Chains A and B, each alone.
Chain A
């Protein structure tokens, strides 16, 4: 079945460091891929998405490229800020099961000043 695997956290970085959070997926057909972010005490917010192979999603300095050959959708940011501290979820929406999303386990990012 469809599934998402993302790197375990927590990830601790200093401000202005480079961020990579790995995400790989298993799916049949042509899924769409998403990154969501959750700040403490809040729901999930859409960060970016990509709907076909080689698409790059980007928002707020974050970006991720849909790589079908490696079944990956890694999240990157060139220079993190303290305000980026949150939990990041990789998600997949499959082709054949209407509106069912599959989420990774989440990666907590701590950015220190």
Chain B
């Protein structure tokens, strides 16, 4: 079974631009979560989608948004990029996400550099 895939793997943007990152979950998984990882803040939860609906949200400004499609693939968008948005963005998928025993499986991440 293929793992979680993320595209692109690397991205360079300039301040003020916007960016869209894509995540394809493991086949059959319906829950997709997004995290931002930086050296200073560690892993921070952005949001989680299940059945095309945002089910959980972290403490990030409205510039960060996401969506999920009917095939469970997900995209996240960051508008008006700031230097501080430079980070590794990780996507994780799980089956349903509702049970405490379920595991999240992570993709390799998209490394975003904002200049």
Contacts and interface: CB of A to CB of B under 8 A. Distances in A.
Nearest to B104: A101
Given A36-B106, A98-B48, A31 B97 contact: no
Interface in B37-80: 42-43, 45, 48, 50, 55-56
A100 B45 contact: yes
Interface stretch (A11-19, A38-46, A69-77): A38-46
A99 B97 contact: yes
Contacts, number: 65
A103 B6 CA distance: 21
A45 B106 contact: yes
B90 interface: yes
A89 interface: yes
Instruction: Specify the main secondary structure of chain B where it touches its partner.
Output: strand
Contact of A34 (B43, B45, B103): B103
B103 A103 contact: no
Given A36-B106, A43-B90, A100-B45, A94 B100 contact: yes
Contact of B100 (A30, A46, A103, A105): A30
Of the four ranges (under 10, 10 to 19, 20 to 34, 35 or more), the interface on chain A belongs to 20 to 34
B80 to A, nearest CB: 26
Nearest to A44: B106
Nearest to A45: B106
Interface in B6-55: 6, 31, 33, 35, 42-43, 45, 48, 50, 55
Contact of A32 (B43, B98, B101, B108): B101
Interface of B: 4, 6, 31, 33, 35, 42-43, 45, 48, 50, 55-56, 90, 92, 94, 97-98, 100-109
20 contacts: A29-B100, A30-B100, A34-B103, A43-B6, A43-B107, A44-B92, A49-B103, A95-B100, A98-B50, A98-B98, A99-B33, A99-B50, A99-B55, A99-B97, A99-B98, A99-B102, A101-B104, A103-B35, A104-B42, A106-B43
Interface of A: 29-32, 34, 36, 42-46, 49, 51, 89, 93-95, 97-101, 103-106
